[in-house]
Amino acid sequence: MGIFALVTGRPGPSGFGSASTAEQVTDGVDASNLTAIVTGGASGIGLETARVLALRKAHVIIAARNIEAAKEAKQLILKDNRSARVDVLTLDLCSIKSVGAFVDSFNALGLPLNLLINNAGVMFCPHQLSEDGIELQFATNHLGHFLLTNLLLEKMKNTARTTGVEGRIVNLSSIAHVHTYKDGIDFDKINDRISYNDKRAYGQSKLANILHANELSRRLQVHGSCGR
């Protein structure tokens, strides 16, 4: 999609554009046989995604760092949709330990997994390191989702094989991926405080999201597994 179409909302080949709402895009969809995880589903785009998926009858897992905000989001969804199937689980993407604990908690529910929507993120933060010693934007926006995806991949593959319904993994991208450091992802200076630029670091993390999605899609297609 070009910048003009993005700004004006002009529909693309799919019939939808940046001005299309989630309800318009999913009109007529019956997702009652699907289970979806939405990271950062307690607010913003994540909350709207969770709300509309629940509206289309999917079983939605809101994964959020702030569990109280996630519970409030669940109640907001239930207020207008009493039959919605929504659960909340704690997930702090900048923590390897938290990602592993989330996956254990989700697996304990005994649910299938059809959709993984990697939406959560942080933006334009002052330089700081995660508890694992990694620059926060890169840790949260990319590495956390990278680990989460890999830990859940077999679950998604098994669900696809069992149900015959191809899975989907969505990495929320941003046009900011073009505004990164000179050489793209500066792997040798991920944690460097001196060269740190909050906006370029964000762009770096979003570029990593896109590269991850592209390579994951390639590998899954090669093996005939669940979709991108």
Half-sphere exposure of 227 (CA within 13 A, CB side): 9
Q: Which residue has the tokens 């007529």?
A: 28
Phi/psi of residue 10, each to 5°? -60, 130
Give the DSSP per-residue string, 55-112.
HTT-EEEEEES-HHHHHHHHHHHHHH-TT-EEEEEE--TT-HHHHHHHHHHHHHTT--
DSSP letter for 184, please: B
Taking the C-alpha atoms of 204, 224, 26 and 37 in order, what is their torsion angle to the nearest 10 degrees? -60
Given its phi and psi angles, is residue 129 left (phi above 0), alpha (psi -120 to 50 degrees) or beta?
Answer: beta
Query: Which one of the listed residues 102, 138, 146, 196 is annotated catalytic?
Result: 196
Are the C-beta atoms of residues 118 and 151 closer than 8 Å to each other?
no
Q: What is the helix (H) or strand (E) element at residue 180, kind and residue range?
A: none
Task: Let me know if 196 is a catalytic residue.
Answer: yes
Are the C-beta atoms of residues 109 and 87 closer than 8 Å to each other?
yes
Catalytic residues: 196
